Amino acid sequence: MNGERHIVPAGTGMAFRLRRGQQARIRNIHGSQVVDTWMLSADDPFEYASMEHTRSVNSNIFVERAMACVSTVRRPMATLVEDTSPGRHDTLLCPCNAAIYRELKCEGYHRSCTDNFHEAIGALGLTLPFTPASLNLFMNVPVAPDGRVDRVPPASKPGDHVTLRAEMDIVLVLSACPQDVTPINGAERRPRDIACDILDASPAEARR
């Protein structure tokens, strides 16, 4: 499959238009970077990948290989077709925002996944009056039997990747999370670049 490569710089976001059958291969170049991920319908941004409906449809709090992220009306938007990482991609925690960084005692402006989302869709001429919950690729959020969650460094290795296949025409939004206070982006607490390859649909995929 032919395609194109993009680098999403550390702490920033980017949006891509994917046609049905196209794939996005998201590569964790350094192994330690969390990628907040959203999908919007190309026809109506108010139909977006819903983490609550995704958990319900998959009967799982994680998104794993062969599982689809579904929309607010439970239509499949993208399927995770390949995963070289240890998996367990989080659907529970919210994208970081200004309020979180205030709680963490950051002074002044701090970039956030929420800002990255709105900036990225704005570059495509889109707006939403809210921020949907994100699929948090590579985010390592263990869940204890009593329901407690933790935030620990990713278990992925440099070069690990996941591949998402669009099941409808979508806008895919990626944020190379700018979190540098907690160890969610690794023990060094240093956001890193990620790579995203947009791969053309094979003839069989295009006919689906």
Domain span at residue 124? 3-207
Question: What is the mean pLDDT of the segment spanning 174-195?
Answer: 97
1-20 pLDDT tens trace: 467 899 999 999 999 999 99
Q: What pLDDT shows up at residue 88?
A: 87
Query: Could you tell me the CA-to-CA distances from 51 to 67, 87, 123 in Å, in that order?
Result: 12, 17, 24
Is the pLDDT higher at 203 or at 9? 9
108-167 pLDDT tens trace: 999 999 999 999 999 999 999 999 999 999 999 999 999 999 999 999 999 999 999 999
CB neighbour list of residue 74: distance below 8 Å, 6 or more residues apart: 50, 53, 57
Nearest partner of 58 among 40, 30, 80, 86, judged by Cα: 80
Q: What confidence category does residue 203 fall into, taking pLDDT thresholds of 50, 70 and 90?
A: low
Nearest partner of 6 among 111, 120, 132, judged by Cα: 120
Question: What is the mean pLDDT of the segment spanning 29-50?
Answer: 98
Distance CA 198, CA 162 (A): 12
Q: What confidence category does residue 207 fall into, taking pLDDT thresholds of 50, 70 and 90?
A: low
Q: What pLDDT shows up at residue 208?
A: 57
Split into its structural domains, the chain has a count of: 1
Question: What is the mean pLDDT of the segment spanning 69-87?
Answer: 97
Query: Which strands, in side-by-side order, build the sheet including 13-18?
Result: 13-18, 170-176, 35-41, 135-137, 89-90, 62-63
Query: Could you tell me the CA-to-CA distances from 95 to 157, 158, 161 in Å, in that order?
Result: 22, 23, 20
Give the type of residue at 30. Answer: H
Percent with pLDDT over 70 in the chain: 96
Is the pLDDT higher at 197 or at 205? 197
How many Cα atoms within 13 Å fall on the side-chain side of residue 159?
0
